[in-house]
Structure 1
Amino acid sequence: SRARGHSQTSILIPWGIAAGLALCCGLLLLGRSRHVATIAQLEQRAAASENQLVALSAERDRSQLALRDKLEQISANQTEIARLESERDALTRQISDLKQNDDAVQVKNKLLVEKTDALEKKVVQLEQQRSLNDMRVALLSSKMQSAPRALATVVWDPDKQEGILRTADVPANSSDQDYQLWLVDPKYQQPVDAGVFSVPTGGTAKVVFRPKAPISTANAFAISLERKGGVPKAEGPIVLAGK
């Protein structure tokens, strides 16, 4: 009985060892599979990390290039700013110089204006004096027996080609008649018409006249009594005349 029990035990021991080995192998295989899976996951993570690292490196390179470009742009801007500031300073100095020159020019212009005004006034005075010297003053005496005290004065300005006639003690003209003034110029065969006028009661009148033709030399003046509105050539009696 002991021998048979010992024999059975001897038979079971190898099987137990084999089963243990099989279990160990299974456990080892299971552990290895898990380890392989873990390694695969780690490799995937490592590959992903490598890709991220490559992307980050590329981004870093781009950022460095952009930063370098910006630094170069900043340097160029600073250079341009320095140039513009230099130009501004130069322009400021030029403006200051121009203002000083402008002040001097304004002073000179003021002096020139004052001198010009003085010269213009002097020229006006000289022209007035010359005009007065050139003016002709004539006294026209009466040719009327009925009004021997009648007279007229003429102030003639050859430059303006106009004159002023004043009468005194001249009989008033009737409503159907006018007095007519004539200028005698040697270059015309007939006296030149200088217009018609009326004399009110009292015998005093003032008339500004302009001849109908240019006068070169007014040698004499005459007044005739004509029909209303005047005539192109004297027809009525000469009532006043003078040189």
Structure 2
Amino acid sequence: MSVPGQGIVRRYYLGWQIEDSKELAAAIVAATSNVRSQMPAFGWDWTELQEQALRVQREREKDSLTEAEWNQLHQEQVDNLQDRIRELEQQLSASPAASLGTDEAEFSTDNLVKRVGPEVYAGEISDRLRFAAKTTLSVAEQIGLDARSKAILRRVVERLPASPALAELSKDLERATKDPKRVASELTSLLARHGYSEKSDNKHIRLEANKGFDGLDAITLPKTPSENRGLKNLRKQIARTLGITKLDD
């Protein structure tokens, strides 16, 4: 997209944000409308146009109108201007400010989650991208990864810290598996906040991933696990099922 006096201010490509030509056209139309609404007007604005029209009308009819008629005409023009000003103020307050550079909101985590799917915890996608970058770097020489890709992936690993919500989830799992009498109810409640729903409750409680949480296997919770070692193994098993054991390395 090019702006007079500034040149190209934004480029659009098909990708995870804009998947097809229809979305591309809609994005360009929305961006150009926002930019155009904030560009300076060349020529008279609405107020100046009204004022010039009033002057011309006064000159043309100065001998045919009484003073009272002139006052009425003037008041009508003032009322029209005030209505227009209020209308423009409402439009300005309702429309978001346009950005002429790269819109960082387009690359926000919220937008990424909308494209990829729901997260087990806040920051999960970022953590998995970081893990994928780290794993790729570990075999970079074997797969012949180019220098630029390695530099970008190193930057991802260095500048994307593990999400605080990951550590919080690990602590919640540890707390939920301390009491063998309450472990089933505690884990059911905890996992319900992280993409699971209870499907059956017999001798064991079976939890299955909700729609959109692809890649998560079902979790079976024993109602009476053995103490200590059994609880620890259960916690590790759930962490492996959630795929979080290596994300904080």
Larger-Rg structure: 1
Do the structures match in fold with TM over 0.5? no
State the TM bucket, normalised to the shorter chain.
under 0.3
* TM-score (normalised: structure 1): 0.21
Answer 1 or 2: which has greater strand percent.
1
